[in-house]
Structure 1
């Protein structure tokens, strides 16, 4: 069962191609080496992806984020893997790596997430 994150994802306005999408019942992880997207300029869609990663990091208080998760509405969501690879090229994410299962299940932000001051 995917981790639950109390996050409301921002959508990319005016587009059917979203940086996060419903995972569906047949969602499968992939090997990090299978992602082949090339570096790209910063688009509004990619900026929405980055902002959502930041929201997730704030909620989890971690720089390691799951590729798929259950959001605040209860939907099983997954990251667009093209956005993931572009984020790696831009050094927003650390180099992608497969986990113990032999497939990529998480990504790691290339900057530290400090505990929030909720006093």
Structure 2
């Protein structure tokens, strides 16, 4: 009897191949701010400051590069010098915040977020 059950479980099910994926309407719409806050809470609960910092830096660069007239393949030195020129900031400050090491404390992560926001606002100013 055990051999029969094992044989049945090992058989391949015949039938038509699966069709294309079907798009399905989501039951709710989630505001972007809720998504960001949820991701932030997840990073915080896992103490994933490195990933949170990388996400902040990547998003900032994605918004900065077009404003600076640079492409996505621009090297960090060019990004730093161009951003420092636009903002009037010290290139070391810009480099540290856009490309520096991950923060080690929640306070450092908050400071990084504020600095990135300041750099972005200064670049956006006419």
The TM-score normalised by the length of structure 2 is 0.25
Structure having greater relative contact order (Cα 8 Å, sep ≥ 6): 1
- Write 1 or 2 for the structure with the bigger share of strand: 1
TM-score (norm 1): 0.26
Q: Which has the higher helix share?
A: 2
